């Protein structure tokens, strides 16, 4: 089981949602799938995110947003994902 934390940072105040995935997909495949499903508002992972946090200013993942999968944090880039150090992440806990 993987703990997935999505942090929307691109617009307004950072907001996050956490879900647990029982899936054998690679981390990057999960990131790509999250990006796709939050942009088309459809899919298994999208459904698991419902209801979204009340203070969401947008729902789609975009450049600058982050996805933490267990202990690895990925930042959405203009093309693909980059790995960032946990010390630079600002999550509300």
pLDDT in tens, 31-61: 999 999 999 988 888 888 888 777 666 778 9
Q: Of 27, 21, 19, nearest to 2 (Cα)?
A: 21
pLDDT at 68 over 90: yes
pTM of the model: 0.81
DSSP summary character for residue 57: S
List, as own/partner pairs, every contact residues 42-46 make where C-beta atoms lie below 8 angstroms and the sequence separation is at least 24, other chains included.
45/19, 45/21
Structure tokens given for 5: 């934390």
Q: Assign 93 a pLDDT band (cuts: 50, 70, 90).
A: very low
Domain ranges of the chain: 2-88
The rounded radius of gyration (Å) of the Cα atoms in the chain is: 12
């Amino acid at each position: 089981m993987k703990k997935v934390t999505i942090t929307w940072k691109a617009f307004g105040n950072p907001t996050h949602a956490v879900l647990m995935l029982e899936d054998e997909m690679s981390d990057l495949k999960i990131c790509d799938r999250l990006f796709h499903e939050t942009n088309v508002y459809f899919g298994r992972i999208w459904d698991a995110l419902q209801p979204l946090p009340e203070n969401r200013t947008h729902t789609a993942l975009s450049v600058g947003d982050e996805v933490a999968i267990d202990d690895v944090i990925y930042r959405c880039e203009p093309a693909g994902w980059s790995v960032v150090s946990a010390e630079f992440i600002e999550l509300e806990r």
